[in-house]
Structure 1
């Protein structure tokens, strides 16, 4: 009898669990979407091998399992189920191991610290239990309607660590944050269990404030390897966590090109697409396709403000994608609101080209302009957005290769 392995949940379109388990050798691992009334009948199946469990069933499955690990009982939720040879369903919580690895990898130490846990669901149960296990002196759980809520956060302004276990900011509703970190002036660590996008609004603010932080992908990977150990009864070295995390970072992070109009973003992007096998998304072209009009026509008839509004909308949509090459317009950096969508899933490269070599045809703001003055105005903006500068005064293929080498080296940062 072929055994069933997979992730059990209600809506799983966002999940990255399957590629993780495939990389660990569980080739038949799949996503299993069930409505609540289907849960009990499914778990009676004799061909279940191993399952992971996610929202909203981490507590609902507990009465349906015959043996529950003591640690999972103490936490109050499970995320891993295995049917053993005796026919019983055994339940575990491997999120606990994942949470600890995420915190340790980010250099965030709970010992003697006060932790604020945002949210009160299944992930929150794990976070608060592990915060205590790791030595937190105090753990406060913030919910929408509990005694500690978002209206009285000031009573916890002395928090050292903030952990988000809510779905606020998760794909596709990116850009929102459950709290403003400036309300915690002593904060020295931020963890967000969300892994898509790579950097939620909460983590982008943590980066800006210089606070050590981590998204939830390390937790997802580490809990998966712990689950596989239960599935097959074999230990898996910690090195597998780093290998798979690096693979996922590489495959899901975007490459974003910014730079002066005419510096070669489209040409380099096309070469980079050939080199990497990735799809190149031209944001200006998306505006043209959406409006049925050329960029010069939009500028001439509607003005720059109207174009920038369209650019902002298309940048926000493109920034939600994963594993793409995003080609931006030269002025995308003029609106600070474009930074978060580009950064949330991307590594941003500024292409640098001699001003005398910049193409100006079909570029409304470049034609007839003083390019030196334009660059002087925009240089600080490019510096604010970029992760790296790449020279594009040589062969296009050389520029594309330089970007790809850098990306492979730093995509796991």
Structure 2
């Protein structure tokens, strides 16, 4: 027999991180396999299948097509990994549960003895329920649109201690949508969201704001892939490998966001960073001008500052959905509180600082003839609220760009 087939089985896969993860784990031929429902059974009869991961909508559909179902997958009622056993039989397993427990432990969220509320009732919900049972949760409640526990009577579960989102609400490209308001659950000790694009859904942004330990689904994705590889090839993958791959993916996906006073050097630093890193630099002001069909000063004169800020918020929401780019913002982006979520959802935010006497004002609608001291007093606390790090830009632009890239490589992988 020739090369065996390894890959991810689904219907519409689009961009998936499974290929780079499995490649990093040593499975060089791993690929995406898109099938229509009627193609599923004939495909699984192929004798060259080595190992497959299975994603929506086929996690239950493949079960009757497997020769053997692992007891853990049977208990969950869902298969996400199919392995060719030495005797030639196809065995259905579930490594999502390994991934889920890894994600929770990594975030320091214990399910033992806790009331766990799970949003959604699909395949990922079955995994979360099984993991909560294995971890010894005291009570498990599943919220669905039409079940007895639904989004209209959430108040009866105000004592929830751990909240798990297994729905696609808030997932790219519908960033910013939120399945529930965490204010309903004042006793929360942890929030887990199986979504990993964006890095921080609106639900996780609210958890961060409230100081609640939380995690996105990327650690789960990496750990379940690692557990699948162990089953595919009968090998043990060192524990640290998950963290190594996770850090690598985080760096690739995270945006570098530059904020700061008008004239603080965001454009020149951004262009230098782009050359240094090979990343695309996305200028929000250029996006706004292109969309409006006129220059920024013209927008200010026609629509006033409020009109410009509305356009700026729309551009931030759109650009913030992207991953792995450099975002260059206008000096006043921090004046609209909602822009924080848009920029922070996938980004690490750097404030460039430069002495006020060095800030040029030419061609800057709010800087010309303005009292820069007063502007600074108003904006300084807003910049502090938005930023992850402050970078001095008084010296050579190459030094500033290098300092940002050093910090980014050190901190974006966590």
Same fold by TM (over 0.5)? yes
Q: Distance in 2 between matches of 1:94 and 1:221?
A: 11
Distance 1:137 1:160 in 2: 10
Q: In the TM superposition, what whole-angstrom CA distance separates every residue of 1:189-228 from its partner, at most 9, and x where no partner exists?
A: 0000000000000000000000000000000000000000
- CA deviation map 1:28-63 (0-9, x unaligned): 111111121221111111111111001111111101
Partner SS for 1:49: strand
Q: Which residue of 1 aligns with 2:155?
A: 154
CA contact 1:59–1:78 (8 Å) conserved in 2? yes
Check whether the contact 1:110–1:161 (CA below 8 A) recurs between aligned residues: yes
Measure, in 2, the Cα distance between the counterparts of 1:301 and 1:314: 18
Aligned to 1:297: 298
Gaps of at least 5 residues in structure 2 are: none
TM-score (norm 2): 0.98
* 1:164-190 deviation line (CA, Å, top 9, x unaligned): 000000011010111111111110000
CA distance in 1, matches of 2:88, 2:133: 34
SS where residue 50 of structure 1 aligns? strand
Q: Deviations for 1:317-365, whole angstroms, at most 9, x for unmatched residues? A: 1100000100001111111111111000000011111111111111100
- Structure 2 CA distance for aligned equivalents of residues 104 and 14 of structure 1: 27
Where does structure 1 lack aligned partners over 5 or more consecutive residues?
A: none
- Please name the residue that 1:214 is paired with: 215
1:87 corresponds to:
88
Question: What residue is the counterpart of 1:344 in the other structure?
Answer: 345
Residue of structure 2 in register with 1:203 after alignment: 204
Q: Deviations over 1:259-306 (max 9, x none)?
A: 111100000001111111211111111122223311111112222222
Structure 1 equivalent of residue 328 of structure 2? 327
Answer with 305-314 or 316-325: which moved more.
305-314
Distance, in Å, in 2 between the alignment partners of 1:241 and 1:354 is 43
Q: What is the aligned partner in structure 2 of residue 390 from structure 1?
A: 391
Distance 1:176 1:290 in 2: 24
Q: Is 1:14–1:171's contact at 8 Å kept on the other side of the alignment?
A: no
**Runs (4+) off by over 6 Å:** none
- Partner residue, 2:105: 104
Question: What is residue 238 of structure 2 aligned with on the other side?
Answer: 237
**Separation in 1 of the partners of 2:393 and 2:136?**
51
Which stretch of structure 1 is more off in the superposition, 81-90 or 106-115?
81-90
Query: How many residues align structurally?
Result: 413
In 2, Cα distance between the equivalents of 1:339 and 1:297? 26
State the superposition RMSD in angstroms: 0.9
TM-score by length of 1: 0.98
- How far apart, in 1, do the equivalents of 2:333 and 2:246 lie? 31
Residue aligning to 2:135: 134
Query: The residue matched to 1:147 in structure 2 has which SS?
Result: coil
CA drift of 1:84 comes to: 2.8
**What is the CA-CA distance between 1:83 and the residue it aligns to?**
2.2
Query: In the TM superposition, what is the alpha-carbon distance from 1:412 to its structure 2 partner?
Result: 2.3
1:97-125 CA distances to partner (integer Å, 9 max, x unpaired)? 00111011000011111100110000000
Question: Are the equivalent residues in 2 in contact too, given 1:75–1:125 (CA < 8 A)?
Answer: yes
Structure 2 partner of 1:361: 362
